[in-house]
Structure 1
C-alpha cells in the first residue's frame, strides 16, 4: 500500500494499493515548459519547468532552441514568475511564496554569484508590475543608469489585529533592485485591485488598472513625480454602462494609449486612446471574440494580440502605429499563449498547448515568418501522447433556453463500446473558462478507464461576452447550477453516455459547483469531488484574505446586506448538506488564502454527521490547489480509487 507523506491529513480514504499506483504513475509524469522572459541582449529565454524527480517548478536559462536547461532558482517552493534586469540581464527579480500562501515576496538573483537578496517588506504581498524604460548611457558616462522596477503590494491579514482588515490599500513602489533599501512609494491607492501595466516613453507616467469586477474596471494615469492620479477611462462622472478597461502599452510617441475594452460591444476589443483629445479608435471590431494585448515590440511598431476564439487562443499581429491588423504566418496546431517580443531581435516567443502535450515553446520571426521550436513536451515512455483523444465543442440548451457550451473528450469507442460513464469537471473563477489544451493526468480517465470527460462553460464563464459573464452574479447564482442540470438532461439523450454513472468535480468556484450539484441533483449523480471549494458564501467572505474580500463581494453578493446574506445562506451547500446522499471527496490546502481550509472542514463534518460517506484529504504545505508533485500524485491516486468505487460500478 502507498503511505501518504507526512504533510497529508487523510480521513476516510481507503489504503491506495501499489498495483493502482503502478498502473497510474506514468500519467503523472507529463512535463511542459512555460515562457517567463527574454534575456534583454541575448537570444535566450527564461523559462519555468519541473525537472524529473523534482517536487515543484523552478526558473531555468534556455540558451537556445532545444538546448539543455540551466537551473537558476532552487528550493522547496515553486517559482514560475520572474524578469531579467532589462539593461544587461546581469540579475533577475522573481516572486516566491511559502506553503501555498500566495503571499509572494520579491527577490533579486545575481546571476554571476547566484546570491539571492530579498526585496520589499515581508509582511506584504508583492507583485512584479513593469520596468521603466530608462535613459541610454550618455556619451562619456561610465555605465548605464540603473534599472528601476515598478511593483505593487497589499498588506496581509496576519499583520492586522484580529486577523482581518476593514479596508485594504494597494501601494505602488519604485525600486532599484540593486539598492532595495532606497525603494520609493509612488502612491497608496484604495482597495486591492490596482496594478501598473504600462509606463510612458518618458518614464513620467504609469497607466494603472483598477479592477473592480470581471465586468468593471478603470484606467488611471499616475504622475510618478507628484503621485497625483487622474481617471482616464471611463471618463470621471460618465453615466455609461459598466465596462472593463485594461491598459496595455503607450505608443512610442507618447500620444496614444493602447488598451482593450468591452465598452462598445459584448467582447473585449483592441482600442487606442488619444491622450490629448480623449478620442477612442476601435481596431479589432472584426474579431468577434475577446482579445488581449500580450506584448509590444521595443519600438512600438508591432503588437501581439491574443484572441480567445471559443476557448482556443489564436495570434493576431497589429501595426502599433496605425493599430491595424497585419498578416501573420501559420503556427503549430493548438491553443497559443504566453506571447512576448524579444527587445532586441523582435522575435515573438509563444507557447502551444494541444491534445498531444503541454507547454511547448516556439519563436516567430515576424519579418521572415520563420517559426522555430525551442522546447519539447515530455511524455513518459510507453505513452504516445499524439494518439490521445481530442477535445470537441458540445452545446446544449439550459432551463431558460440559453445556449451553453463545453469541451468534451470522448473515451475511444473502439476500446470502450457501449454507454460510457461521465466525469463533469467544472472550472473555477467563476470568471474562468474551460479552454482547448492538454488534458494532462485526466487522459488516464479517458484512455484507461473509458470515462468521457466534459468540461462545461456555464453562465458566468469568460469568453462569451459581457452579458453572459454577468448572468450568475448575486441573486442569479443558482442559475449556473441549473446549467449543469440541463447538461445532465443532455447526457441522457446521448447514445454513447451513461446518465446513471455521472461524477461531478471542480476546483475553487468549481468546487462550490460540485457541492451545489450534489445538493440539487443528488439522485442523478454517483458522487462528487470538491477541490478547495466554497461551502458557505458568508463564512467564505468573512474569512478570505482581506485584499480579496471586496472584489469577491461584487461577484457573489455583499453579505453585509441582510437580503443578500439571507440569500447566500439559503443557497450555500453547507445549509443544504442534508440533501447530499452520494459519496463525497473533499480536497483542501491548509494555507489557502482564497478559500480558507475551514470551508472544507465544515462541509466534511456536516455531511459526515448525516451518515454520507466522506473522504477528506488536506495538505499542510499547500494552498489553493496542490502544486507539489508528491501531494498531487497522492490526490490523483485517491481520485482514481474514488472513481473506481463510485463512478465505475454499475448504479442501482
Structure 2
C-alpha cells in the first residue's frame, strides 16, 4: 500500500458498516462483560466486544500483518557457565520461555501455555530447573511456578490467589525471594524460601507498604530489600536472614530513588544506583555497618545521566552499569578496585536486562533494541571487548533498512521546560504530513528509541509523521523534571500538550490541521486530555486503557497500588486536591471534545479499571457523538495476546487513516467520529 492509495482506503472505510455490535485479594468478578449499551461480540471472536468498530479492509490487513509479525527476544537469565541463555519470545500467540545455546542458535521452547511468560530465572548451577511468574487473563495476580525441563512439568509454588512479583534467586542456588500480597491483599511483603522446598516460604517483612527483594549476599545470609513509595521516594534495607532483623541503609531524612542495588563481593557493602544525592541516579558504595555517609562519593560522576542498570561480576572486580543517555543505553565497566570507569562499545540502542553469568566474570549479556532492531540478545566478551549477537528476531520479512530512524528534538513549554521528543518522518513523501502524537504511560516512564512496529507502520508505510514526546514528569531527565507533575502540579503538565501542538505548527513539513493523539494508561489520560482541553487542534484520539477521571481511577484501582498512585497523582480524599483533579479530568470536560474517539480496554485491568473506559465512552455517546469501543474480556492492562493486539493495532491505524489521511482541513473539522 502506498501513501497515494490512502484516499481510496478512506472511502472504503466510510462505506463500512459497524460490526455487530473472587478469592482473597483477587479482582471481583464482573456481573457482565460491559455496561455499554449496544456492545456485542465480534463474529467468531467471543472474547472481543465491539461498538462502532467497522470491519478491517482486507488490503490493510495484508500489509499491516507483516509489521505485526515482527518478533522480539527479551533476556531473562544466563546459565552459570554462560552457555545457555533464557529468553522470552513469541512463536505463536503469546510470549513463552525459550533457551538458546549458542550465538544465533535455535530457540528451544520450554513452555507452551495460553498465558504469556515474561519473568523467569534459572536455578544457579542447575539450569534444568526454571522459576517463573505467570498470571491469568491479564489480571496481574502473578503466581510463581517451577519448571522441570526434564519432565516438562510445572509446579505451582504460591497460593494461587495473591499477587506476586520481583523474583530473586541466590547465587549459590539455595534460596529464592519474591514479593507478595498474601498477608492482607493490600501490602506487598517479601518472602524467602529454600529452593529445595520452595513452598516453605517465610515472611521477612511484615510492615505496611510495598516491599521487594533486590539481591542476596554471596553466602545467602543477607537480603537487600527496597521499600517503594513513589518513583522518587524509596529506601534500601538489608535483612539478616538468620535473625530476621532489618537495617535501613539509606538515610531516614530526605527522599530519593533506589533504581538498583547489589551486594559487594564480600557482603560488607552495597553498590546502589540512586538520585538521592544529585539530580540524576548515580552509583555509590554504601557500607552495611556504621552511619551512612551524608554525602558518599559518586562512582559515576562523569556520566551526566541516570544509571538504570548495574550488575556485579562473579569475582567482584567488575561492575557493569548502563546509563540512559537521551534514551540510548551506554554500557560501562567500573573497576571496583581502582574505581576507574571504562565505556564498552556496543550497537547503538536501548539496553536492558543486564546479566553476568553467576559463575563467570569475562562476559556480560543484555537485551538491546533500536528503531530498526527488535529487542534481541547480545553478549560482550570483556577480554576482547567483542559484542556477539545471540538472537536475530524477524521483522515480518521486511528489510530493517526501510524503517525510519527518529530525529531527537526539543521544544519550549511553560516554566522554562524544554520537552525532549522523538520525531519519525516518512521518507520521500511530498506535501504536508498528518501527525500522530504518541504519549507514554507511567507517568514516570520514558519513550525510548526502540523498535515499535506500529510507529514504523505509520511512518514508513502509511505516510504519517509520528511525534513521541517525553513531557514533564517523564523518567530519564533528572529527578527535578520527573517531579514537575506530581500531585496538583499535573495541571501545569497539560501545558506540554499545547507546546507539542505549537511545535508541530513550526515545522513546515507537518500539518497542524491533521493531528491525532494516541496513548496507553497515563498516555491514555494525556490523549483524552488533549482531546478535551485542546479540542480545536485534535482531529482523532485513540485511548488505550486510559484514565478518564483521576478521582475515580484512584478510588477504583487495586488496593495494593492505591497509595503508590496517590503519591504520584495526589490524594483524592483531600478536597483541595480533588478539586484540581476534577478540573483536569477529561470526563469533566467531555462536552468540549470534538475529536473522533476510539477507546480500547482490557476487562481484567487491575491498574486502570474498565470503568474508566466505559464512563468516557458513555459520556461521549450521551452528547451525541459516535465513538469506537473495543473491549477484550481476556486481557488486562493492554493487549498481550497476539490476535487481540493485532486487531487493536490494526483498527487504531484504520481509525487514524480515516480521520487524518484525507486532504488538509480546518482544525477539528469532521471530528464527530463514528461511521
Within the candidate set 166, 169, 181, 1:131 is matched to: 169
The gaps in structure 2 that reach 5 residues or longer are 1-15, 17-41, 667-675
**Who is 1:367 aligned against?**
383
Alignment of 1:421-460 (within 5 A): 421-460=434-473
Alignment of 1:154-233 (within 5 A): 154-155=181-182, 168-191=186-209, 193-233=210-250
2:153 matches 1:148: no
List per-residue Cα deviations over 1:50-103 (Å, max 9, x = no partner).
01xx11010011111111111111111001111111132221101000000111
Q: Structure 2: how far apart are the matches of 1:389 and 1:128?
A: 35
- Specify the SS of the correspondent of 2:45: coil
22 and 3 in structure 1: CA distance in 2 versus 1, 3 angstrom threshold: farther
Q: Structure 2: how far apart are the matches of 1:387 and 1:15?
A: 29
293 and 13 in structure 1: CA distance in 2 versus 1, 3 angstrom threshold: closer
Q: Structure 2: how far apart are the matches of 1:314 and 1:327?
A: 7
Question: In 1, are the aligned partners of 2:143 and 2:160 still within 8 Å (CA)?
Answer: yes
**Who is 1:399 aligned against?**
414
Structure 1 residue 107: Cα displacement:
0.3
CA RMSD of aligned residues (A): 1.7
Q: Structure 1: how far apart are the matches of 2:546 and 2:89?
A: 27
Q: Structure 2: how far apart are the matches of 1:368 and 1:578?
A: 63
**Who is 1:139 aligned against?**
none
133 and 57 in structure 1: CA distance in 2 versus 1, 3 angstrom threshold: closer
Structure 1 residue 4: Cα displacement:
6.3
List per-residue Cα deviations over 1:166-199 (Å, max 9, x = no partner).
xx322222223442342222232311x2111122
Q: TM-score, normalised by structure 1?
A: 0.92
Q: Structure 2: how far apart are the matches of 1:9 and 1:374?
A: 40
Question: In 2, are the aligned partners of 1:251 and 1:320 still within 8 Å (CA)?
Answer: no
List per-residue Cα deviations over 1:444-465 (Å, max 9, x = no partner).
1112221000000000001111
- Specify the SS of the correspondent of 1:298: coil
Within the candidate set 317, 324, 329, 2:340 is matched to: 324
- Specify the SS of the correspondent of 2:204: strand
2:297 matches 1:281: yes
Alignment of 1:225-624 (within 5 A): 225-234=242-251, 236=252, 238=253, 241-277=254-290, 278-279=292-293, 280-328=296-344, 330-346=345-361, 347-381=363-397, 383-412=398-427, 414=428, 416-624=429-637
Structure 1 residue 404: Cα displacement:
1.0
Structure 1 residue 322: Cα displacement:
4.2
Structure 1 residue 303: Cα displacement:
1.1
Indicate the larger mover: 504-513 or 558-567. 558-567
Q: Structure 1: how far apart are the matches of 2:262 and 2:67?
A: 41
Q: Structure 2: how far apart are the matches of 1:579 and 1:444?
A: 31
**Who is 1:7 aligned against?**
47
Within the candidate set 62, 69, 89, 2:107 is matched to: 69
Q: Structure 2: how far apart are the matches of 1:426 and 1:293?
A: 24
2:119 matches 1:81: yes
2:639 matches 1:626: yes
**Who is 1:94 aligned against?**
132
Q: Structure 1: how far apart are the matches of 2:360 and 2:267?
A: 23
List per-residue Cα deviations over 1:11-63 (Å, max 9, x = no partner).
01122222221222211111121111111235111111101xx1101001111
Structure 1 residue 3: Cα displacement:
4.8
Question: In 1, are the aligned partners of 2:545 and 2:613 still within 8 Å (CA)?
Answer: yes
- Specify the SS of the correspondent of 1:333: coil
List per-residue Cα deviations over 1:345-404 (Å, max 9, x = no partner).
3311122212222112111111121221111120223x2112211111111111333211
Q: TM-score, normalised by structure 2?
A: 0.89
**Who is 1:137 aligned against?**
none
